Amino acid sequence: MEELINRIAGAAGIDADLAKKAIAIILDFLNKDGPSNQMQQVLAALPGASELIAERAVSGGGGGGILGALGGMMGGSGGAMAALGELTSSGLSMGEVQTVTKELVSYAKEKAGDDVVNDVISNIPGLSQII
């Protein structure tokens, strides 16, 4: 996980703690909204990913500010809108969110394979247009 955190921190120009938080937010969102079989493969290929999601659950991660609230009003957990709201509420600009997301997807493809990650992305409505 340290390799991924450092890679994302460097690419986005953010500190390691913020990179770790962003990774946790995105992985938690994908784990909740993505196809479970493929997400299990992704999490297994990223050592420390499941623990990061578990830490987030224990610490009460969530929220998402106004975007998360809007997503919640639209039904369910708010999905991508709530995750985006939480990322920006954490202090990331939209450009940084894009960089973090692209680096995480690229890393996941390197570790779990293109097909598995592409299946996750294609099974979450609207996500392929963001990435």
Give the SS3 label for residue 77.
coil
Query: Contact at 8 Å (CB) between 68 and 78?
Result: yes
pLDDT score of 62: 56
The pTM score is: 0.85
pLDDT the model gives residue 76? 42
Q: What is the CA radius of gyration of the chain?
A: 13
pLDDT in the model for residue 125: 82
Pair 46, 103: CB distance under 8 Å:
no
Collapsing DSSP to helix, strand or coil, 81 comes out as: helix
Written as six digits, the tokens of 109 are 């493809």
For residue 60, the surrounding DSSP H or E stretch is none
Q: What is the pLDDT of residue 61?
A: 66
Euclidean distance between CA atoms 60 and 29, whole angstroms: 14
If the chain, 131 residues long, is cut into consecutive pieces of 10 residues, what is the mean pLDDT of each piece? 97 98 96 95 97 90 46 51 92 96 97 97 82 73
The pLDDT value given to residue 68: 39
